Structure 1
């Protein structure tokens, strides 16, 4: 896995949002957080959507193929950490594709570290 990281997100990437890149970069059955977007005319990663996956980040990203050209990601040891990272990115970047604050995973009472929602 490459260690390429852009300042500001704490995520690895960007990579092409395609099945082969996802298979190459991510491990199976692991929680994680991600950002979707594109490379702007200045060569910066522009975030259009953020999300997280509690069990299988790889399959969640594959479901987004065709919605953006690039992605960044980070694996987490715990689902809660992935959810918290999604919340932090939502507040930091206000991506245009996220209309609502991230929902806590079903069956949890976790709250956002930023706004305590």
Structure 2
């Protein structure tokens, strides 16, 4: 019998689903970030290396509803990522959230995203 793995299913908010936002681009940026993290780990060799989980891009084959409301619609693209167990504090998000008093990572991630779109992909 095979082992079961827990996954996190990520998608765009419904108002962005048909707004020409491309989740595939986010997956490509994530893969580039993973490549850079792997390179960093090889060169620096920390006791706690940076670990990126590989996302899987998937299109929903059917709609999914919860309590009579659409959660996912047919054809919606989602990213599946292996679940990372543990307790973590979120300090930024793709939607602009920044933990109070913590601004440097946001500036760095915007720089990486811009470079990834124009130079690497």
TM normalised by structure 2 equals: 0.24
Larger Rg: 2
Quick check: which one's helix share is greater?
A: 2
Quick check: which one's strand share is greater?
A: 1
